[in-house]
Amino acid sequence: MVEHHISLLSIAMAGLINLWLASRCGAGRGKAKVLHGDGGDTSLQRHMRAHSNFIEYTPIALLLILVLDLNEQHGWLLALTAAVFLLGRVLHAIGMQADKPSKPRMVGMLMTMLPYAIWIVWAALVAFGII
């Protein structure tokens, strides 16, 4: 039986990052005394957008990791790209707090998009039986 450690660890780490991002939103709400929405608080808006951005990219990324893993495409490349993606999501969230374009945000998006593109092509090649 093939074990899916890369998928499991990626999902667990993504869950941990999601929890961290959600807790930042909750703390921001408490600090700004905002029950619903963002109350016009810039810091809370940034926390909320960082969390939303994570949610926009991560589910499809995890599905791509999982289907590649299920198709026995696991190994160092899948593990490395998963780690890069997740680190990129953290850097992007940190960079979202800056008042102007920031290096962590830019690097984080690059670390998001590169693995994402690799997985899309990889999954298509597997689907067509090329690899």
Residues in the chain predicted with pLDDT less than 70, given as ranges, are 1-2
Predicted confidence at residue 4, as pLDDT, reads 87
Cα distance between residue 117 and residue 75, in whole Å: 18
Query: Residue 37: enclosing H or E segment and its boundaries?
Result: none
pLDDT digits (tens, 9 = 90+) for 38-52: 999 999 999 999 999
What is the distance between the terminal CA atoms of the chain, rounded to a whole angstrom? 21
Task: Identify the pLDDT of residue 1.
Answer: 55
Residue 2: per-residue pLDDT? 60
pTM (2 d.p.): 0.93
SS3 for 100?
coil
CA gap 123, 129 in Å, rounded: 10
SS3 73: coil
